[in-house]
Structure formats: C-alpha cells, structure tokens
Amino acid sequence: MAGLKMKTQKRELLVIGWMEHLDLPDLGLAQIKAKIDTGARTSALHAIGIEPFEREGESWVRFQVQLDERAPWRWVECAIHDRREIKNTSGIPEERIVIRTHLKLTDRSWPISVSLTDRTNMRFPMIVGRTALKHHNIAVHTRRTNLTGT
C-alpha cells in the first residue's frame, strides 16, 4: 500500500459551554471552573507565589493554586515549558511562565500550554484559549454552560 495515505478517523464533534469544569490531572487539579474564551489565544491558570527553580539541571516552577475561595491554597510543581510575552486582559504585554500539561474534558485528554498569572480579580481561576481547542473538533455554545456535565 505504498503511496496511499491512511485516512484517520475524525473525532465526533464535542459541543461545550462557554464555561465548563475541567481537570488538569498532571497537576493533580480537578473540577476547575474555566471560561472557554475563543477570543484569547493562550490559556491561563490562576497562580500566586510563582517561584522558578532548578531541578536536576532543568528549569522548574512552583506556585500556589486555589480553585475555589473556600478551598485551601495548594502548592504545585512542574517543568517550565517556555517564557513568553502574553497580553493581559488590559492588552498590556507581560512576561509569563508557560507550562505544558494535559487538559481533561469528559473522556478526552490532550496536552496544552498554560501561562501562570495572578487572576485574583477575575471570575474564573482558568481561561481556556482557542489554541488549546484547535484540532480537537470542539465547538463552543455561547449561551450555555457545563454542557459536558462534569
């Protein structure tokens, strides 16, 4: 069958709401209230106490996460993927640490890039940008929330 391309099976369309609860299992974080924002390119996670450090010659970061105002703050550690200039909600560029982790939504899971930033004054501890959804056959319903039932 040389020269023939194998057709890959396309995943069924998943319709999600503009707000969903999702997991970042690599970080041990579950049921994160996230705004799905196709106007944003990059995803961001609420983090404070962001401290880069070295582990066995690699660049790592530790930070604190609070997913709900009633929940305690938790320390999380992971490898640094990148440092980038990312525009904040006011359109002002700021340098942020970016990590790679898996996003889990319903029975689907895939790796995404997430910037770490203080989202204290925001309604959602996480924002999922369009890059995280690209190539996953996902549509966002702009008037509904929690369509995945998680």
Q: What is the pLDDT of residue 9?
A: 59
Q: What is the pLDDT of residue 77?
A: 98
H helix runs in the chain, sequence order: 130-133
Q: What is the pLDDT of residue 91?
A: 87
What b/e readout covers 76-115, taking b as 16+ CB neighbours within 10 angstroms?
bebebbeeeebeeeeeeeeebbbbebebbbeeeeeebbbb
Q: What is the pLDDT of residue 10?
A: 72
**Cβ contact 127:116 at 8 Å:** no
Look up the pTM and report it: 0.90
> What is the enclosing helix (H) or strand (E) of 95?
strand 93-105
Give the integer Cα–Cα distance in Å for 36 and 17.
7
Tens digit of pLDDT per residue, the chain (150 long)?
Answer: 455 554 555 789 999 999 999 999 999 999 999 999 999 999 999 999 999 999 999 999 999 999 888 889 999 999 999 999 998 888 899 999 999 999 999 999 999 999 999 998 899 999 999 999 999 999 999 999 999 975
Q: What is the pLDDT of residue 1?
A: 46
